[in-house]
Amino acid sequence: MANSEHLSILEKGVDVWNEWRQNNSHINPDLSNSNLKGKTLVGANFLNAGFENSNLSLTDLSMANLTGAQFLKADLSHSIFKNAIISDTSFSYADLSFANCAECVLFKTDFIRANLSSTDFSNAQLLDCGMEGALLIQTNLYKTTIKRARIYGVSAWDVIGDECTQEDLIVTPPGATELFVEDIEVAQFIYLMLNNQKVKNVIEAITSKAVLILGRFTPERKIVLDKLRDELRRRDYLPIVFDFEKPSTRSIDQTVNLLARMCKFVIADITDAKSIPQELKGFVESNPTIPIRPIILKGQFEYSMFEHFKNYKWVLTPYKYLSYEKLLVKIVPAIIEPVERKLLKLRPK
């Protein structure tokens, strides 16, 4: 709960609050769980050095006027800002995870290096905002409008972006020639494209270590894929496991082909083959420099279409394993050494 003394000072108005903050910069105010709904907090000073990591979590700031307010490094997690007036406000380095900013109009507001994980910006407008280095994990951007935001260094993962309007997002750092993109989630890749050497380094780093692991995701089969992934990771590879339990579509075929082209080699568990025959057909023929090591549980038979792949010298003979435990013990002679030898033969020197 909020510190009653701190809340009482704020209730006397912004001028009184700011003066108290200036004279008591060593105090970390606690306004958590406060009801500040509809309050006028224009220019409120939540900025001084002593206010780092101040606590405003679970605070109701809905419909409040926060124009020019400063929340540097404040804990605002789970707080409510719905329909608040937010202009020239600073949330830089603040924690707004799980905060509700739905339906807000945020104008010239800074979220530099702010934690916006699971923040709800649905139906909100972010206009001319600074978002450099912000963290967006599962951030809700449903029907959000983002225009002219500066997004250099943004980290975006699993963003909910249905019907999100994104325009003129600036991906370059301050002082550099401005480059505009239209999608936060592809911004980092677009920025890398500006520097061919960086792209080359990224591609080389991936293709020298990435391994695509294919197979079925039934419980008994998935454990084999997971154990292979863990063992390859311990051996300094970058394993990528792809789920083929989804319906086979053209888009999945294209995705598998793209992933395969980025990998050093492919491991395909053809045990209980179901969707994998079509997926193998989609990239085996067109990737002659990428070794494919099929594996199959001993006692099972290769599916009939697999005979066709034996005509391609980059497809190794299927390795038959008794259990995933024994497969892991023999992973070097069974998988790693054969594909590394095959690589030397397939790729130009």
Q: Is residue 182 pLDDT above 90, yes or no? A: no
Q: Where are the beta strands (DSSP E) in 217-271?
A: 238-243, 265-269
What is the spatial distance between Cα 2 and Cα 56, in angstroms, rounded to a whole number? 8
Which residues, in sequence order, are CB contacts of 301 under 8 Å at separation 6+? none
Q: Residues of the chain with pLDDT > 70: what percent?
A: 90
pLDDT given for residue 209 in this prediction: 87
What ranges do the domains of the chain cover?
1-194, 202-346
Q: What pLDDT does residue 288 have? A: 87
Residue located via tokens 């605070």? 59
Distance CA 120, CA 103 (A): 9
Give the pLDDT mean for 24-38. 88
Task: Please count the other Cβ atoms lying within 10 Å of the Cβ belonging to residue 25.
Answer: 14
Find the range with the poorest average confidence among 113-127, 266-280, 293-307.
Answer: 266-280
Output DSSP code: residue 177: P
Q: Closest Cα partner for 39 from 65, 18, 16, 21?
A: 65
Does residue 136 carry a pLDDT above 70?
Answer: yes
Q: Does domain 1-194 have CATH number 2.160.20?
A: yes
Domain 202-346 has CATH 3.40.50.360: yes
**Structure tokens that stand for 106 in this block:** 């945020």
For the segment 261-272, what is each residue's pLDDT rounded down to a tens digit?
Answer: 888 999 999 898
Helix (H) / strand (E) element for 343: namely helix 337-346
Query: Which residues, at least 6 apart from 109, have a Cβ–Cβ distance to it below 8 Å?
Result: 86, 87, 88, 89, 90, 91, 126, 129, 130
CB 244 within 8 A of CB 276: yes
Segment 215-239, tens digit of pLDDT: 887 888 889 999 999 999 999 898 9
> What per-residue confidence (pLDDT) applies to 257?
77
Which run of H or of E encompasses 192?
A: helix 187-193
CA-CA distance, 320 to 301, in Å (whole number)? 10
Tell me 312's DSSP state: S
Predicted confidence (pLDDT) per residue in 59-106, tens digit: 999 999 999 999 998 899 999 999 999 999 999 999 999 999 999 999
Mean pLDDT to the nearest integer, 181-200 = 74
Cα distance between residue 64 and residue 111, in whole Å: 18
